[in-house]
A and B are shown apart, each in its own frame.
Chain A
Amino acid sequence: MTTFDRFDPFERRITEAIDEIAATRPPAYLNDVLRQTARKAQRPRWTFLERWLPVDSAIPRPTIVGRLPFRQLVIVALLVALAAAALAFYVGSQKRLPAPFGPAANGDLLYSAAGDIYARDPITGRQRPVIVADGDQFAASYSPNGELITYATASAEGDHFMVANGDGTNPHQLALIPSTGNAQGAWAPDSRSVGFIYDVKGLPQLSLVSVNGQASVIALDDIVPLDIAFMPPNGGRLLIRARVAGSEKVGLYTMKLDGSDRQTIVEARQTTYGVQFTNSGAVFSPDGRTIAYNGLDVVSQADGKLELMFRIHLVNADGSNDRALPGPSDPTVNENWPVFSPDGTSILVLRFKTRGDVFGGEGWIASMPADGSRPARDVGVHFTDDKSDTAISKGWSPDGSRILIAVGSKQEVYSVDPSTGSSELLAWTKDLPDWQRIAFR
């Protein structure tokens, strides 16, 4: 080892002695550990990419009013009044639900703790158990309408992907996911089905499963699905990140829910970052017209070297006009994992700098205008990751007034004011909560 080159005889003595003390062979317990890892899934899994994504269906559209005769105006006014009364009666007799995308009011916070799932009122701080059962329940998420929850529960057979009412009643299984391999899930905008990608016989399979358990498999012959999202506002198309079969090239594609009418959005490419990160992080804008994703661009560094760095890209939903948004002024900073704000005006991104020869370093959150008019500005606290990675998850509150940030390796969750950048540590959770979307009052 390199320390043998040192001149201090005492150090050399220590080094030699430690090497002798440590001389050993593979430990006898290794097979037990490998049996344990074989039963565990890898991250990321149960990533609901469309959490809190907004849509413009809730935004009033301008109307053009021409000149109308007085008599007609009176009749129109009467009709409007009658319609409003009927609507009020109908709404009063129905439970109000939020639009599937776009800004909504903030409901409860759903999170897992000590193997069970809890909901917490963000105003009063009152929390209640939602799913309490044997084993480990995790990855809790609300449906877009806030009425249902999904979660996973681990067993020796694999991870049971469950759906239940928001109060935890009527839990039933939607899918049994193998313990190995990647797994992705995405709620359909109408909250009636979930799109899945998980391994079946060792190969990733794309499927749609309704909340009552009916499943349909979408055959993709020449591409291997990696990530999934539904296209706003009606979820009539899927956005799939996929690897070209037999290669390490990864592209972005949209298609109908049966896999037909496939369009290439971002051409498949192979990068040194591998399948996991190439063209990753794709999300729709609120109006469904634009897709933001993790681009990889060549950036000139201070020493003149060219490095492949993460930069946010926007591309039209039909695959045209792929463009990079303004990046950070510091060329050593990466920028990726975009999340649109509920009103669609801002994009939240992760910024990070790697450190030394390991995957770790400094990470923080920044917010940029979705029109790309200027670079992102930093919000919230910086996280220096002393452990394995810079795993930082983030999401907007349904009304866009808060940002929740989870630092995975530290098991810390912060609530950040996006306008001021001030943050507070949420001492009551180590898991990034999912915020329930409810209708505005």
Chain B
Amino acid sequence: MDKRALVERAGRGDHDAFAVLATAASARLDAAARLILRDPELARDAVQNTLVRAWRDLPGLRDPDRFDAWLHRLLVNASLDEARRRRRRPIEVEIKTIDEPAGSDSAGHLADRDLVERALVRLDPEHRALVVLHYYLGYPLPDAASSLGISLPAAKSRLHRAMLGLRRSMTADAHVVPGLEGGRTA
């Protein structure tokens, strides 16, 4: 059964169809939430809230072909809600990778990954959300801005600041972590 049919069936109350959709989307949702929140428990809460809301509101989704975009939008908003709700709680920064990458990996890739992880931690959730929408989920900036409820100029400005922050953090870290001097160029 194609995805559109699954979304339509789920929108009419077919929970089995929803389970298929949720299972297919869950890995990416979980990864995106972890990237934004940098805390596995908060990410779990965000994904849970996203899927509960998706199930509840699915009958209101006008175009089944927009399911993924709609779901990702719910996820980003749920993640930011979690971040705001727990802002006073110390965040358990997850430095380990979410899952070990498969196959061989060069030292350069590992170095980059560690640098980016450390740099992401230093961004606030709103900036991370934009980075995740744009660079991980692959949304053009106007759509990412729309998902976050901000104007395109604001999104451009926020992304510029985020990238500047990442660049500075990575440069600084590369100079203090032995063996990573200079980082790696693409």
Contacts and interface: CB of A to CB of B under 8 A. Distances in A.
Interface of A: 1-3, 9-27, 29-30, 32-34, 36-38, 40-44, 180-182, 199, 273-277, 354-360, 384, 386-389, 391
A355 B146 contact: yes
B94 to A, nearest CB: 10
A22 B61 contact: no
5 contacts: A10-B163, A181-B13, A359-B70, A360-B73, A389-B57
Given A12-B186, A20-B109, 18 more contacts: A13-B185, A18-B120, A20-B105, A20-B113, A22-B31, A22-B136, A32-B48, A33-B47, A33-B51, A34-B19, A36-B48, A37-B51, A43-B60, A44-B60, A199-B13, A357-B66, A358-B66, A358-B73
Interface in B55-110: 55-64, 66, 69-70, 73-74, 77, 97-99, 101-102, 105, 109
Contacts of B37: none
Interface string B15-31: 10011001100111011
Given A358-B73, A359-B60, A22 B26 contact: no
A22 B102 CA distance: 12
Contact of B59 (A27, A182, A387): A182
B151 to A, nearest CB: 11
A356 B13 contact: no
B155 interface: no
B6 interface: no
Contacts of A3: 134-135, 138
Given A18-B131, A357-B66, A359-B61, A275 B98 contact: no
B161 interface: no
* Interface size class, chain B: 35 or more
B62 A354 contact: yes
Interface string B113-147: 10111001000000000011011101010110011
Contacts of B27: 24-27
A29 B116 contact: no
A274 B134 CA distance: 31
A336 to B, nearest CB: 11
Given A2-B138, A44-B59, A29 B48 contact: yes
B15 A38 contact: yes
A24 B47 CA distance: 14
A370 to B, nearest CB: 27
5 closest residue pairs by CB, A with B = A386-B149, A22-B31, A9-B186, A17-B116, A1-B138
Contacts of A357: 66, 69, 143
A190 to B, nearest CB: 31
B52 A358 contact: no
B41 to A, nearest CB: 10
A9 B59 CA distance: 43
A14 B73 contact: no
Contacts of B131: 14, 18
B77 A22 contact: no
A238 to B, nearest CB: 22
A27 B26 contact: yes
Contacts of B149: 384, 386-387
